[in-house]
């Protein structure tokens, strides 16, 4: 009987800790939105590349991927323009409306799964039909062997 008392005390302690954790998480889920409210949907600006409806009903041409804000001729290149300029390995139509650049490590198992499954599907459906230009960049981040493989 004397040995059961410490064991019961330990089990009771774990049960109380678990209940306290559950109550703490529940309170956090309830109180967090009150303490840190999210911005409403109406306050967020529209994403870049969208066209606002015109009040006169005139139709504006849709923006293209190469459209930049009109800041003059000395505007710096966009991130995508820099990435595409530095990418050396492409397949697909150079004039395709969409460009995808994959950053991958030869030792990364998730990168390999993408190449064998999703990448092949993108190639079959979109690259071969001329809708997508697909680029590849070596992104060796898993050690010196990745550098050698790249």
The whole-number average pLDDT for the span 66-77 is 64
The pLDDT, as a whole number, for residue 54 is: 53
Continuous segment of H or E residues that includes residue 133: strand 132-138
What pLDDT does 148 receive? 66
pLDDT at 45: 53
Confidence class of residue 26 from pLDDT cuts 50, 70 and 90? confident
Strand order in the sheet with 89-91: 89-91, 132-138, 98-104
Q: What is the pLDDT of residues 36-60, one digit of tens each?
A: 665 544 455 555 555 555 555 444 4
The b/e string for 24-55 (b: 16+ C-beta within 10 A; e otherwise) is eeeeeeeeeeeeeeeeeeeeeeeeeeeeeeee
Q: How far apart are CA 61 and CA 51, in angstroms?
A: 9
125 burial type by CB count under 10 A (0-12 exposed, 13-18 middle, 19+ buried): exposed
Residue at token pair 């409403």: 40
Rounded CA separation 104/135 (Å): 11
- Note the pTM of the prediction, 2 decimals: 0.44
Tokens (6 digits) for 82? 């820099």
Cβ-in-10-Å burial (0-12, 13-18, 19+) of 138 comes to middle
For 118, the 3-state DSSP assignment is: helix
pLDDT at 41: 44
Is the pLDDT score of 1 beyond 80? Answer: no
pLDDT tens-digit series, residues 87-142: 777 888 888 898 888 888 777 877 788 888 888 888 888 888 888 888 888 777 67
């Amino acid at each position: 009987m004397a040995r059961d008392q410490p064991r019961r005390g330990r089990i009771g302690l774990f049960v109380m800790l678990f209940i306290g954790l559950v109550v703490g998480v529940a309170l956090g889920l309830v109180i967090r939105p009150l303490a840190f409210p999210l911005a409403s949907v109406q306050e967020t600006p529209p994403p870049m590349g969208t066209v606002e409806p015109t009040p006169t009903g005139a139709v504006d041409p849709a923006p293209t991927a190469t459209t930049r804000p009109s800041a003059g001729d000395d505007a710096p290149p966009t991130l995508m323009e820099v990435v595409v300029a530095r990418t050396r390995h492409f397949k697909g139509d150079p004039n395709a409306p969409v460009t995808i650049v994959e950053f991958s490590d030869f030792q990364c198992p998730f990168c390999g799964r993408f190449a064998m499954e999703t990448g092949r599907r993108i190639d079959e459906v979109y690259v071969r039909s001329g809708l997508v230009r697909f680029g590849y960049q070596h992104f060796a981040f898993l050690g010196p062997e990745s550098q050698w493989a790249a």
